[in-house]
A and B are shown apart, each in its own frame.
Chain A
Amino acid sequence: MGTEAGGAIGRLTEALGKLPGIGPKTAERLTHYLLAASRVEVFALADALRAIKENIRRCNQCCNLTEGELCSLCADPRRDASVICVVEQPRDLAALERSASYRGLYHVLHGRLAPLENVGPEQLTTSQLSRRVQGGTVKEVIMATNPTLEGDGTALYLSSLLAPTGVRITRLARGLPSGSVLEFANSQMLADALEGRRAF
């Protein structure tokens, strides 16, 4: 490409190459695309990039990403403030919202308790969650961390942290995705589905 190291073109290629799923070849192709694109298009991209760091912050209540003091969910009076669903990441919240079957509020941990990776409770939003629950309006906390060992461990830690408040703590059931067939479910899904069975 005839770029000197540290030059604008080289820096862009290097920065793009750090994005997930983008290898050096793709990074180079994107750089060429942007070089050829209009000023308006490229500046719009640059502005959008800048804005996600300058304008996006954590919601004062649930730590979801937002542009205001409160996220749109926390600010919505139709949501049930007595139930909090705890998730690891904003993308998990988005997935649950897409299911359109939950009317309560959320709490985003921004990670999971992973002592082996040096991620302790202090790296997560656990103390904010504690304060919310101690506030008294919350009746139920639903643990919706990932069904992995670390996700389960995070839920376990949080439930022991919140136990003294007397709040009801529940865990997402796990098992068969609706619409799947028993025949193709793996044995773990079936075991979980059996364990999580409910009365009719």
Chain B
Amino acid sequence: MATEKAQALVLRTTDWSETSRIATLWTREFGKVRVLAKGGRRLKSAFENALDLLTLCSIVLIRKSSGGLDLLTEAQVVQRFPRLGTHLPSLYGAYYVAELLDAWTEENDPHPGLFDLAVETLRGLGGAIQEAEPVRSGLRVMRFEMQLLCELGYCPVLEGCAGCGTARNEGAPGPALFSVAAGGLVCPACQPVQRDRQALSPAGLRALEALAQPGEAWRLAGRDDPAVDAEVRRLLGQYVTYLQGRRPRLLSYLESVDENGTGPKRERG
């Protein structure tokens, strides 16, 4: 049983007893870990307020050899994102980041690049980054979502047909067609087989490409056409739902708010 240090994002906590909590953390070093934090509910514990949802903290833990919970011995806040609590679309976006990470990552399977992007995304959503041109929170969340899919091997096929591999014919009439079951664009020959195919606007396709690319091109995606955000949001949501086998909980929350307003568009429920 070795003592280890790690950087961690808090994905979930449950009260375990009068004083203790169980937390699911996503660490840069070890992937997902489940830890028992004894005394974690006390105000003045070794964890202070570090175990609040989506807090970035530096932790010390004792790893268990197999199965059981790791034991958290220290946790210190590195960064909190209090401004998430002032903008509903950012808050729901951040919750969605946590939901995706919890659903898609495994123990002992670290993805340091994705970890850094998750932190960057939360900092952006939480208003902790000074940017010359602010990025819409919805776009920022889709950037993270697309990069998570690509990092884990599910990047949608956009350069050719996901069914047969034929290169994309730029001159083809009509909109491109996307199939979540095929995992990308489908060519005219494959379309009859992919019954879930749906039209994808040229601007929507460009946005998907920009989100998947490395670099900063994604920041400009859909800038000239606000309808693109909704189109790409819907498509990515369907794709993630298909891959996960169930619809993420936060999707309906994300749909219930609009970027500019404080939302909710309607009273849910």
Given A20-B17, A116-B95, A153-B85, verify A188-B263 contact (CB < 8 Å).
no
Q: Total interface residues on A, using CB and 8 Å? A: 27
Q: CA separation between A174 and B141, bound complex, in Å?
A: 30
A190 to chain B, nearest CB (A): 13
Complex interface residues of chain A between 130 and 157 (CB less than 8 A to chain B): 130, 148-150, 152-153, 155-157
Tell whether, in the assembled complex, residue A148 and residue B53 are in contact, meaning their CB atoms are under 8 Å apart. yes
Query: Please, which residues of chain A bring their CB within 8 A of the CB of B18?
Result: 20-21
In the complex, whether A121 has a CB less than 8 A from a CB of chain B is yes
Given A148-B53, A149-B85, A153-B84, verify A160-B263 contact (CB < 8 Å).
yes
Total number of residue pairs linking A and B with CB closer than 8 Å: 74
A121 to chain B, nearest CB (A): 5
Interface size band for B: 20 to 34
A140 to chain B, nearest CB (A): 19
Q: CA separation between A130 and B267, bound complex, in Å?
A: 10
Tell whether, in the assembled complex, residue B249 and residue A156 are in contact, meaning their CB atoms are under 8 Å apart. no
Q: CA separation between A122 and B269, bound complex, in Å?
A: 5
Tell whether, in the assembled complex, residue B267 and residue A116 are in contact, meaning their CB atoms are under 8 Å apart. no
Closest chain A residue to B17 by CB distance?
A21
In the complex, whether A115 has a CB less than 8 A from a CB of chain B is yes
In the complex, whether B52 has a CB less than 8 A from a CB of chain A is yes
Q: Is the interface of B mostly helix, strand, loop or mixed?
A: loop
Closest chain B residue to A118 by CB distance?
B249
For A156, give its contact among B53, B85, B99 (CB under 8 Å).
B85
Tell whether, in the assembled complex, residue B12 and residue A116 are in contact, meaning their CB atoms are under 8 Å apart. yes
A179 to chain B, nearest CB (A): 14
In the complex, whether A127 has a CB less than 8 A from a CB of chain B is yes
Query: Please, which residues of chain B bring their CB within 8 A of the CB of A163?
Result: 262
- Of listed A21, A115, A130, A159, residue having the most chain B CB within 10 A: A115
Tell whether, in the assembled complex, residue B262 and residue A160 are in contact, meaning their CB atoms are under 8 Å apart. yes
Q: CA separation between A160 and B258, bound complex, in Å?
A: 12
A38 to chain B, nearest CB (A): 29
Complex interface residues of chain B between 48 and 95 (CB less than 8 A to chain A): 48-49, 52-55, 77, 80-82, 84-88, 91-92, 95
Query: Please, which residues of chain A bring their CB within 8 A of the CB of B264?
Result: 157, 160-161
27 residue pairs of the A-B complex, CB under 8 angstroms, read A20-B17, A20-B18, A21-B17, A115-B92, A115-B95, A116-B53, A116-B102, A116-B249, A118-B249, A121-B267, A126-B267, A130-B267, A149-B54, A149-B55, A152-B85, A153-B95, A156-B86, A156-B88, A156-B91, A156-B262, A160-B88, A160-B262, A160-B263, A161-B267, A186-B48, A188-B49, A188-B77
Beyond A116-B95, A116-B250, A152-B85, 20 additional contacts (C-beta under 8 Å) are A115-B92, A115-B95, A115-B253, A116-B12, A116-B98, A116-B99, A116-B102, A148-B52, A149-B91, A150-B53, A152-B84, A152-B86, A153-B85, A156-B86, A157-B264, A159-B262, A160-B262, A188-B49, A188-B77, A188-B80
4 closest cross-chain pairs (CB), A and B:
A122-B269, A152-B85, A21-B18, A160-B262
